[in-house]
Structure 1
Amino acid sequence: MTALPSPAPAAAPPPAPERTKHRLLELLKRGGPQTVQDLAVGLGVSVPGARRHLIDLQEQGLIEARTERPGGRGRPQHVFGLTDRGEAAFPKTYSTLCVDVLRHVQELFGEGAVLQVLDARSAELAQRLRDDLPDTLPLEERVRRLSEWLTGAGFDAVVEPGEDGAWYVVERNCPNLTVARQYPQLCRSELGMFVGVLGVPVTRETRIACGQGSCRYRIGP
């Protein structure tokens, strides 16, 4: 009896799209800006396939395209690199570093020194923001611009109108949560910055660092 031929081994399934995108981000993180051809080789996919993933990541704001000359000479070529948002997708130890620095400040100079350091930082930020939020603008416009800046800084902020003429800024994320939980002076300093920028009373009603779902600020009378 003639033996039947063994079935051919099944082809390995293609990598999941999200896994491929993650590998693409890792290639850019480790190798810096690269062309679509280089990335296709690194991923083991076709150039059109790599381009599709690049377009998706661009739409998500994780990478950006720019034109560079290799080694500063030669024909310009399009390369892709990580944006700040793309960089933020990788683990960072900034919060640990910040906590360590504030702990040493407190041990060396006392608890009040921590607030002084954070207040100085907030005052500098407020000075920068005043250029974009001049007193000549209506309060609503200034609150909305502040909310946009906060969102860009990672706070995922939205503006809500109040029933009595006040406005509310609601921060749905706290990028500084690790620090804020150990040093509430950071939240006090943020509140002072809002007052310094807007020039009106500001009251914090809820706080993420206390276990609530958002940091909610009432702005105005």
Structure 2
Amino acid sequence: MSATRTRILQILREKGEATAIELAARLDLRTVTIRHHLRALRADGLVREVRPLRNGRGRPRMVFTLTEAANRLFPRNYEGLVRHLLPLTVSPDKIREVACRMSQEAHLHGRIGRDRLSAAVAFLNEKGYLARLEASEDGSIRVEIRNCPYLEVAREREELCALDAALIEELFGAPAERFSCIVHGDPACRYRIRSEVA
């Protein structure tokens, strides 16, 4: 993204809303140039028109603000929040409760067999896990996870590994045994799922 568009987003983040004329004055650019950038940002879904601003004669000026997609571009501190909240939710019952709520987002109710397996893996991948299924010779299903979406926090608080294990069980609808773990230095987290799920 160009430096000018980045600055437009920053100004809108600070002010909440602004017209092209106000942005041009802040950036010391021509209004026509700012309008060009606003059109591009609007096409990218990062800004939207809020309302027209009438100020005397002539065409009303349009007021712009950020969209939710643009808000997600700015720094967040979820990791810090998790570090402070996690000690409050370390009991096994709470971990299972959180895993159950998370798994409900996958909409797996009524899905069975390979359909459930595929949907569960797709859900994990939407959440950034880089998951895949492997069949093993003993008939069990193995789930391999190549990315821990919260690795830095999990290194400090291994309860997150218990949360992942509970989530795997909820998603696949069967007991899961973890036999390798990224937090312990393995290249992937691997789980063995009881074969009845397939």
Select the residue among 30, 48, 59 that pairs with 2:36: 48
Q: CA deviation at 1:192?
A: 1.4
Alpha-carbon distance in 2 for matches of 1:65, 1:53: 6
Alpha-carbon distance in 2 for matches of 1:23, 1:92: 18
C-alpha contact 2:143 2:193 (8 A) present in aligned 1: yes
Is 1:121 aligned to 2:106, yes or no? no
> Corresponding residue for 1:12?
none
TM-score by length of 1: 0.59
Q: CA deviation at 1:90?
A: 2.8
Select the residue among 140, 150, 172 that pairs with 2:124: 150
Is 1:81 aligned to 2:69, yes or no? no
Give the letter aligned to residue 143 of structure 2.
Answer: Y
Q: CA deviation at 1:121?
A: 1.4
Distance 1:201 1:114, change over 3 A: closer
Is 1:93 aligned to 2:88, yes or no? no
C-alpha contact 2:50 2:65 (8 A) present in aligned 1: no
Q: CA deviation at 1:101?
A: 3.3
What CA deviation, in whole Å up to 9, does each residue of 1:87-133 have, x standing for no partner? 44433333223322334x48xxxxxx54443232112223x246x11
Structure 2, unaligned runs of 5 or more: 54-59
C-alpha contact 2:135 2:142 (8 A) present in aligned 1: yes
Matches within 5 A, 1:56-205: 58=44, 63-64=45-46, 68-69=50-51, 81-83=66-68, 86-103=70-87, 105=88, 113-126=90-103, 128-129=104-105, 132-139=107-114, 141-153=115-127, 155-162=128-135, 164=137, 166=141, 168-174=143-149, 176-205=150-179
Alpha-carbon distance in 1 for matches of 2:15, 2:41: 17
> Corresponding residue for 2:57?
none
Alpha-carbon distance in 2 for matches of 1:206, 1:25: 43
Query: In angstroms, what is the RMSD of aligned CA positions?
Result: 3.8
- Aligned pairs, how many? 181
SS at match of 1:27: helix
Indicate the structure whose relative CO is greater, using CA pairs within 8 Å and at least 6 residues apart: 2
Distance 1:136 1:206, change over 3 A: same
C-alpha contact 2:177 2:191 (8 A) present in aligned 1: yes
SS at match of 1:91: coil
Q: CA deviation at 1:207?
A: 2.9
Q: What percent of counterpart residues are identical?
A: 20
What CA deviation, in whole Å up to 9, does each residue of 1:10-58 have, x standing for no partner? xxxxxxx5433432442343344667x4696355461224433554xx3
Q: CA deviation at 1:137?
A: 3.9
> Corresponding residue for 1:5?
none
C-alpha contact 1:115 1:186 (8 A) present in aligned 2: no
Q: CA deviation at 1:218?
A: 4.5
Alpha-carbon distance in 2 for matches of 1:65, 1:101: 33
Is 1:215 aligned to 2:189, yes or no? yes
C-alpha contact 2:42 2:48 (8 A) present in aligned 1: no
